[in-house]
Amino acid sequence: MSYSARWMSDGEDDRRPSHRRRCANNSNNMPLQSTTSQQPITIGNRELTSRFFLAPLAGYTHHAFRVMLRRLGGLGLATTDLVQAQMLVSQTRKSMELVETSPEDRPLSVQIFSGVTEQLVQAAKWLEDHGYEGIDINMGCPMAKVNGSGGGARLMCDTTGATEMVGRVIDAVDLPVTVKMRLGWDNENLTAPELAAAFEQIGVAAVTVHGRTRQQGFQGTVNREGIRETVQAVKSMPIIANGDVRNSDEAFSMLDETGCAAVAIGRGAMLDPWIFRKLRDIEQGITPHKPTADEQVAFLSDHFHLMREQHGDYSCFLFRKFAAWYGGRLGIPEDLEDRLRRFESAAEFDSLLKEIRARHGERESEIATALIKVPNGPVEHW
């Protein structure tokens, strides 16, 4: 079974009765909200209206997906896929696509990566010069091609070097600089608390912590205790907790158990694009929005056509991989989901959409197929 399938199959679903709801004295049968504060969260000069953020997912969290989520409501901050710093400054076609944005796509941070300080500095300046509002430095990527050149999670192995590097970026720009990292390289090197404390000293605006080590890759479970220790290592810099949040119960328990200021949700947003809207509804004390069949089909259609505005016919290829995530929650019958994973033209998509509309809800399982491609095999070979 793929990592993703396993990740999906053991989770609770918002629509199913949860332990939290069963046990609580909650006569309206409403999901409970967190006991932690609901103060607006400020990152640098940006006050965010929600403490639920979108975690970057390379290949997925492009402009179209971010805008679609924003239209549904409740999303605090979004971050682009990781962009190689040197490629950004050279304005390669791929990097320009990754940083494509629009006025509707706010607030946004651009995530950059490199093992070379000067490249990060130049990329940060480029982003500032081109009107971007936030810079996120990747210190969590486990891929060999990123770690091999000293970037991503490799930076967590040299806490002094990483702190100097981030300090140089902060000195070079006026934009808020954030860092996204893991708990450490492996269980013997859990450097997240030490790094977070050092980053706070030099003026990092916030740190996102994915509660796994690089060694873990995407295996095993998220170590919330490790995230909590990182929260406890800083005075007031916001820590954004991340990992395996798939529904509102998991989002609120992440806040409660770690004491974090915000929660970043990645794959959970592809499983349920309404997750941010639902979290906002719960925080406002109203019944979480349950999307109608029409809304679900409209979401599918709008996402694809928005993607097409940017990528033209290449969107057919790009969109296919969303099908495995969307099918379960959007009520797409299995055979139509299968065709959605193979369609080749916009006309084919539109005719498929008609069939989905006509047969919406025939699907038997709400579990997503989730055939997302993540690296296989031992982490050393990534």
Ligand X SMILES: Cc1cc2nc3c(=O)[nH]c(=O)nc-3n(C[C@H](O)[C@H](O)[C@H](O)COP(=O)(O)O)c2cc1C
d(C-alpha 332, C-alpha 321), whole Å: 14
Q: Is 328 annotated as a binding residue?
A: no
Options 8-16, 134-142, 324-332, 342-350: segment touching ligand X (CB under 6 A): 134-142
Angle of the 159-172 helix axis to the 192-202 helix axis, nearest 10: 30
Rule CB under 6 A: is residue 137 a binding residue for ligand X? no
Rule CB under 6 A: is residue 244 a binding residue for ligand X? yes
- Given 210, 280, 303, 339, the residue binding ligand X (CB under 6 A): 210
Residue 270 CB, nearest approach to ligand X (Å): 9
Q: Is 33 annotated as a binding residue?
A: no
Q: Is 74 annotated as a binding residue?
A: no
Options 135-143, 191-199, 277-285, 297-305: segment touching ligand X (CB under 6 A): 135-143
- Interface pattern 158-197 for ligand X (x via CB under 6 A): ----------------------x-----------------
Please confirm, yes or no, whether 141 is among the known catalytic residues: yes
- Given 8, 41, 43, 55, the residue binding ligand X (CB under 6 A): 55
Rule CB under 6 A: is residue 267 a binding residue for ligand X? yes
d(C-alpha 67, C-alpha 73), whole Å: 10
Rounded to 5 degrees, what angle do the CA atoms 226, 121, 50 make? 45
Work out whether strand 41-43 and strand 46-48 pair parallel, antiparallel, or are unpaired. Answer: antiparallel
Considering the complex, state which of residue 266 and residue 331 has its C-beta at the smaller distance from ligand X: 266
Rounded to 5 degrees, what angle do the CA atoms 104, 110, 116 make? 165
Q: Is 267 annotated as a binding residue?
A: yes
Residue 360 CB, nearest approach to ligand X (Å): 27
Rule CB under 6 A: is residue 111 a binding residue for ligand X? yes
Residue 200 tokens, joined: 């706070």
Indicate which residue of 23, 141, 157, 260 is catalytic: 141
Options 37-45, 93-101, 160-168, 240-248: segment touching ligand X (CB under 6 A): 240-248
Tell me the C-alpha to C-alpha distance, in Å, between residue 264 and each of 78, 111, 257, 260. Answer: 9, 14, 15, 10
d(C-alpha 147, C-alpha 138), whole Å: 11
Q: Which residues pair with 164 in a beta bridge?
A: none
Rule CB under 6 A: is residue 266 a binding residue for ligand X? yes
Considering the complex, state which of residue 230 and residue 356 has its C-beta at the smaller distance from ligand X: 230
d(C-alpha 252, C-alpha 263), whole Å: 9
In three-state secondary structure terms, 14 is: coil
Options 85-93, 157-165, 241-249, 339-347: segment touching ligand X (CB under 6 A): 241-249
Rule CB under 6 A: is residue 81 a binding residue for ligand X? yes
Residue 111 CB, nearest approach to ligand X (Å): 5
d(C-alpha 113, C-alpha 305), whole Å: 30
Residue 125 tokens, joined: 């300046």
- Count of residues that interact with ligand X, criterion CB under 6 A: 23
Burial string for 206-242 (b: 16+ CB within 10 Å, else e) reads bbbbbbbbbbbbbeeebbbebbbbbbebbeebbbbbb
Question: Residue number with the shortest CB distance to ligand X?
Answer: 266
d(C-alpha 138, C-alpha 179), whole Å: 6
Residue 9 tokens, joined: 């199959």
Among positions 330-369, residues that touch ligand X (CB under 6 A) are none
Q: Is 6 annotated as a binding residue?
A: no
Residue 179 CB, nearest approach to ligand X (Å): 10
Which positions lie near ligand X, rule CB under 6 A?
A: 55-59, 81-82, 111, 138, 140-141, 180, 210, 242-245, 265-268, 372, 374
Binding site, annotated residues for FMN = 111, 180, 210, 266-267
- Active-site residue numbers? 141
